[in-house]
A and B are shown apart, each in its own frame.
Chain A
Amino acid sequence: MEVSFAITGKGYVILAADQNAARSIIKMKADEDKIKALGSHLLMAYSGEPGDTVQFAEYVERNLRLQQMRNNHPLRPQAAASWVRRSIADSLRSRSPYAVNILLGGYDMANKQAKLYWMDYLGTQVDVPFAAHGYGSYFALSLLDREVQKRLVISFPSFKVKVVDEGGVREVELDMTV
């Protein structure tokens, strides 16, 4: 029961993920951050099998950092997405696959474009204008297909929201009382 959303706009991507850490019927934490900054202009929202998620996110984070240090240049969103997809796809046919679903949003400094990639635990990857994972996707995708979204009919109490644009990564406060 996790949910994450992302939308691209002109020159930015905005990601939101719920903040619950729950197991079965017990909620253990309500302030978990499920969106990682993978670089100055790259964000990754992750959800899926508890344990796998953080493990995989940190693996990706450190590898992309290594890539940046070796080449003195960060990977562009497209390249980073390909690397993450390949990691998931290779893992899928291994002895213990990671079950992690990902939304990867980035701002490409080379061509001044915002990019969003939807990826699931199978290694399916697609470049989309808006995306969602979890039960929220059934609401959000149909809502966003209509191009406007007025409300999200889901009872998560809080969301972590982060934006990536030309200025880099930043967090925004979401007023949930509206």
Chain B
Amino acid sequence: MSIMEYNGGSVVAMAGKDCVAIASDLRLGNQALTIATNFEKVFPVTERIMLGMAGLATDVLTLRDRFRFRVNMYTIKEEREIEPETFAHLVSSTLYERRFGPYFIEPVIAGLGKGTNKPFIASTDVIGCINFAKDFVVAGTATDKLFGVAESLWEPDLEPEDLFETISQTLMNAVDRDAFSGWGAVVHIITPEKVITRHLKARMD
């Protein structure tokens, strides 16, 4: 029994043309027993940054609160909104603080750069080693499946609606092959104007 697979769940993020998408499943389990099918793992950080977390559910909630606190402190001190790159390093250092007793979380960060609208996606491991990617990043119990599907579906410079289709198909087809993920999904598309959030009708078995 791995602590990373105790609650189940998966997250994926993809970069498009002047937009990024981040999506997660909705399952919360206790090993093989499904407790709830409304457990969202993606949270807004600013108007144009979102953070997804896969792993131990208690740490998902604790870190959600912790990041909210730290981002608020940053905003007050700096008198400006945090940038995606900066936020990625904030996530990294928060996790590395617990180097020898980690939070059991693999975070996925998606956001748009200020002014430039440059798509930014990144993920880290449980101790905060950052993986910057220009295509897509994945985390959770369906990681291996997500990599496979994303690798074949993703292409560069997708428009928001096409990116939505790509990330939705990637997530759904991956989690349907994973017993610990699934039971519904939620997708967020971050564009320069707004964030579009959609709940997907997925397999519920």
Residues of A participating in the B interface, judged by any CB pair closer than 8 Å:
85-86, 88-89, 92-93, 118, 120, 122-128, 131, 137-138, 141
Contact = CB atoms under 8 A, between A and B. Distances in A.
B58 interface: yes
Given A89-B62, A120-B30, A123-B62, A141 B35 contact: yes
A128 B38 contact: yes
A123 B58 contact: yes
Contacts of B38: 126-128
B58 A89 contact: yes
A46 B8 CA distance: 24
Contact of B39 (A93, A122, A126, A141): A126
- Binding site of A, secondary structure by majority: helix, strand, loop or mixed? mixed
Contacts of A120: 30, 58
A66 B38 CA distance: 32
Contacts of A126: 28, 35-36, 38-39, 57
B153 interface: no
B58 A122 contact: yes
Contacts of A141: 33-35
B115 interface: no
13 contacts: A89-B62, A118-B36, A122-B57, A122-B58, A123-B61, A123-B62, A124-B57, A124-B58, A124-B61, A126-B28, A126-B39, A127-B38, A141-B34
Contacts of B185: none
Nearest to A145: B34
Contacts of B191: none
B101 A131 contact: no
Nearest to A88: B58
B61 A131 contact: no
B36 A92 contact: no
